[in-house]
Structure 1
Amino acid sequence: MSELTTVARPYARAAFEFSVSNNNIDAWSSMLFFASEVAQDATMAKILTRDKAPKELADLFISICGDQLDESGQNFIKILAENGRLSVLPRVTQLFAELETEYKKEIDVDVVSAYALSKAQQGKLSTSLEQRLARKVNLNCSIDKSLITGMVITAGDLVIDSTASGQLSRLSNTLHS
């Protein structure tokens, strides 16, 4: 996976910088998402592993994508094909999305709670996390009844565990040390 990331990163960064300079990040995000779905199709994945001329491969890929790619998107596909990198398109799309999130100062936060959170609770939680993380927060809430009470909040590397079992575990660790 790290090798795939190493190969995909320069393409993702180039696409992102181009999209920022042309003020069309959302359009590029959509194009890359669609193209990566095409690249992940089982039939297309087989075609990408065969020995085909880069121009022929790019033309085929672009014809399948149709109107989903603008001229700059088509040029991007041609460059990937010339360098034999169409198969890394899904990873390019993931890295592009990460760059977009960082650029927009947003963060996805997973909240697992014992019970469903009301809109008011979600609003308060979102506001608190935005202040703490200095970013716009996108909450992804889910329910896990086995938690009994409390919630686990995960934002990147940050994990906040306010569940009963988490608190008991911390208390136990404190008493043992």
Structure 2
Amino acid sequence: MAEITTIARPYAKAAFDFALEKDAVDSWAEMLDFAAQVSENETMKPLLSGALASNQLAELFIKVCGEQVNEQGQNLLKVMAENGRLEVLPAVYQLFHELRNEWAKEVEAHVVSATELNAEQQQQIGASLEKRLTRKVKLNCSVDASLVAGVIITAGDLVIDGSVSGKLNRLSETLQS
């Protein structure tokens, strides 16, 4: 994974810098998301491994993307095809998304709870995280009944495990040591 990230980082950084300069960060995020989905398509995957010449692959990829990718996006795809890097497009999109969130002072928080959270609970969690992280927080909530009760919140490097199963695991580790 580190190798893919290392390969993808310069493309993501260049795309983000260009998008920022042209005040088109959101449109670039959409373009990269679409191109990443195309690269993960089961029909396209085998072609990315070198079955076609780079210029043919770039033309095919751009035709598949159609109007979803503008001229500058097509140029990025051509460069990536020439360097045999189209298969790292999902990582480029992910890194671009992280750069965008950092620039916008936003963070995505994943909240896993034992039961469905109501709107008031989500608002309280969001407000507490915004205060703690000094960023705008977007919550992605899901339910995992195996937690028994409580929540696990993940926001970037921050992990808050307030679940009963997590507490039982920590108690078990303490008793064993």
- Give the TM-score normalised by structure 1: 0.88
1:164 — aligned with what?
Answer: 164
CA distance in structure 1 between the aligned counterparts of 2:124 and 2:11, rounded to whole angstroms: 39
Distance 1:164 1:72, change over 3 A: same
- Measured against aligned partners, the alpha-carbon deviations of 1:36-91 in whole angstroms (never above 9, x if no partner) come to 11112222222222353322221111111111111111111111112221121121
* Letter aligned with residue 39 of structure 1: S
- What corresponds to 1:152 in structure 2? 152
| Structure 2 CA distance for aligned equivalents of residues 173 and 117 of structure 1 | 29
**1:110 paired to 2:110:** yes
Q: CA RMSD in A?
A: 2.1
Matches within 5 A, 1:31-70: 31-70=31-70
Q: Which range moved further: 86-95 or 141-150?
A: 141-150
Q: Take 1:108 and 1:157, find their aligned partners in 2: how far apart are those partners?
A: 11
C-alpha deviation, 1:107, in angstroms: 1.2
Instruction: Give, in whole Å, the separation in 1 of the partners of 2:170 and 2:57.
Output: 57
| CA-CA distance at 1:165 after TM superposition | 4.1
**Structure 2 counterpart of 1:15, one-letter code:** A
| C-alpha distance in 2 between matches for 1:83 and 1:164 | 49
Q: How many residues align?
A: 177
Amino acid at match of 1:24: A
Unaligned runs of 5+ in 2: none
Contact 2:105–2:136 (Cα < 8 Å) also in 1: yes
Q: Which amino acid aligns with 2:91?
A: R
Please tell me whether Structure 1 or Structure 2 has the larger radius of gyration of its CA atoms.
Answer: 1
Could you tell me how far apart the structure 2 residues matched to 1:105 and 1:38 are?
29
2-structure distance, mates of 1:106, 1:155? 10
Match of 1:80 in 2: 80
Structure 1: stretches of 5+ with no match in the other structure: none
1:25 aligns with 2:64: no
Identity of counterpart residues, as a percentage?
54
SS at match of 1:160: strand
**2:33 matches 1:8:** no
